[in-house]
Amino acid sequence: MSMDNPSTPPESQRLLKAITERFGFVPPFFEPAVETPDVLSLLWQQTLTAYVDNPLPALFKEKLSALLSRYCAVSYCLVCHSCSLGPLGMRGPQVLRLLQSPVPDEARTERILTGLSGVQTPVEEFPSPDSPLEEDVLQLSSILYLRQPSAAAARECLLRVLGRAHYNRLVALINYVKTCHGWMEANPQVSYRMDARYQRHFEPLAAEEPDLTRYFEEHLPEFARWQQAQEKARETAAVVAQRAEEAEATVDLLEKQLLYAMGELRRGAEFAQVLMAVVGHDLRNPLAAILTSAHLLVRQQPDNRPVVKAATRITSSAQRASRLVTDLLDFTQARLGGGIPVHPTTGDIHLLVHYVVDELRAAHPTRTFHVEYHGDGTGLWDADRLQQVLGNLLANAVAHSPEDSPIHVETRAFEGEVSVCVHNENREGPIPALLLPHLFDPFRRGATAPSASRSRSMGLGLYVVERLVRAHHGRVEVESDARGTTFCLHLPRGKGMDIPPHQASPLASSGGLPAH
């Protein structure tokens, strides 16, 4: 590139002279803009402001530029910035380790954010080279560049830790690097081999670390594979999100259909019996398949936050639909079949509570559950039915409490009975006193509760709770005031009940309770 070329516009000649005076040479990076002085001027001004004259430490600027250049489809920036690390004191093996550092995933990002959460006062000096804080800043800067799901949290953390001045300069550098990558990808003919940084510094670095040569040679195919993986992850997340929306829409439609069916049910026992068979066969199997698929997605991609979030939505919707189906069947059985049968076996109420709370935690990962166990929890109960009772009470507590409030569960053992109490804060005030005597009647809670519009309850969950507790010769009590709402189950230990000896509960246990 010659400033004396008569075809070079005068303004470009002036700019090339300024670039030479600053660098000692003209990087090939500027060559495609020589014929357009306005573009060349823009590139040079950005280079001066965001890169050359940026007050951030020179070594940090080159480290970050080299790291981010791994995500460019052209090798020019990667090689040139890596070569610039040599004159700044880095040896070949150090450069290779930097370039081979893994792309920060969600788990690694979460650890960094947690570790820096205690830093509430901005640092006065920019992090020193090779310090843990510099490493964290490099990682979080990569998160910003890649626009990963945790970018907003990374941005807030960097601003809080570095302070406004350092943060602004860092963001300016990141955006400049992104501009350079776009410019090079638009001009892939530019060769790093013509750049003085490569010509002067690559051989000494490669002599210290021969694998640097192979790394640069393999960069483009490795970048292509990374791009394909990212695209596949985005496609998977989009598909799962769509499936989650479809699942929620299906559940909403199912609820409407069930509400309509319940109206018909009041007017015809024959219709109810037919509906029982249809619901039991045609709805439970696909719901089980939906839950299994959602759990499989989480196991296959545990670090893909959009996938995990969507799968959690699917799980929550499917569990809600499953509860609706079970409550409907039990209501029909109670009204038409003479009561809901229970099959008690020896079990531990603490283990039942533990199991149900774990299910609710998985379905509502943003909610907090506090659980306390007291005394000997063994007794004679139908484990499946009590899981249903506890699941309905906990789902009710989640639906009618503020999102940021905890759910409290406490089990206590007495000589002849055990109690389980579920307490939640009220989202919209206590349950009205006039409603309390009718709380366990069917079709009442969902129609009259303050937050019914959000919980979309059919009013069967508490009815089924009361029927199942009564089938165990127990009782259920409720209190609601300004402090919150508490449901308490009182269950006899089962003395004197007729228990078939061949049955056994899947949760029956004489062992210790898992840590909670």
Q: What is the pLDDT of residues 327-384, one digit of tens each?
A: 666 666 666 555 677 889 999 999 999 999 998 888 888 899 999 999 999 999 999 8
DSSP string, 90-157: --HHHHHHHHHSPPP-HHHHHHHHHHHTT--S--SSPPPTT-HHHHHHHHHHHHHHHT-TTHHHHHHH
Instruction: Identify the domain boundary among 276, 305, 336.
Output: 336
Task: Check if the beta carbon of residue 392 is closer than 8 Å to that of residue 327.
Answer: yes
Q: How many domains is the chain partitioned into structurally?
A: 3
At residue 495, the pLDDT reads 53
Q: Is pLDDT above 80 for 459? A: no
User: Does residue 402 share a domain with residue 299?
Assistant: no
To the nearest whole number, what is the mean pLDDT of the chain? Answer: 83
Domain assignment present for 219: no
At residue 449, the pLDDT reads 47
Residue range 285-298: mean pLDDT, rounded:
70
Band (pLDDT 50/70/90 cuts) for residue 314 is confident
Domain assignment present for 5: no
Q: pTM of the prediction? A: 0.52
CATH number of the domain within which 120 lies: 1.20.1290
More confident residue, 164 or 276: 164
The helix/strand/coil state of 338 is coil
At residue 511, the pLDDT reads 36
The helix/strand/coil state of 451 is coil
At residue 505, the pLDDT reads 35
- Name the residue among 9, 313, 27, 292 with its Cα closest to residue 180: 27
- Distance from C-alpha of 176 to C-alpha of 188, rounded to nearest angstrom: 18
Could you give phi then psi for residue 24, rounded to 5 degrees? 85, -5
Domain assignment present for 97: yes
At residue 310, the pLDDT reads 75
393-407, 420-434, 453-467 — which is least confidently predicted?
453-467
Q: What is the pLDDT of residues 488-509, one digit of tens each?
A: 999 999 754 443 333 333 333 3
Residue range 24-38: mean pLDDT, rounded:
95
Instruction: Identify the domain boundary among 209, 226, 246.
Output: 209
Task: Check if the beta carbon of residue 389 is closer than 8 Å to that of residue 377.
Answer: no
Q: Is pLDDT above 70 for 157? A: yes
Residue range 99-114: mean pLDDT, rounded:
88
Count, residues in the chain: 516
What is the extent of the structural domain holding 309? Answer: 236-336
- Distance from C-alpha of 489 to C-alpha of 466, rounded to nearest angstrom: 9
Domain assignment present for 225: no
More confident residue, 261 or 332: 261
Of 174-178, 393-397, 505-509, highest mean pLDDT:
174-178
Kindly tell me the burial class for residue 217, based on how many C-beta atoms sit within 10 Å of its own C-beta (0-12, 13-18, 19 or more).
exposed
Band (pLDDT 50/70/90 cuts) for residue 3 is low
User: Does residue 157 share a domain with residue 252?
Assistant: no
The Cα-based distances of 462 to 324, 340, 342, 391 in angstroms read 12, 14, 17, 11
20-29, 343-352, 449-458, 476-485 — which is least confidently predicted?
449-458
More confident residue, 274 or 326: 326
Domain assignment present for 36: no
Residue range 422-432: mean pLDDT, rounded:
91
DSSP string, 203-221: HHHHHH-THHHHHHHHHHH
At residue 498, the pLDDT reads 41
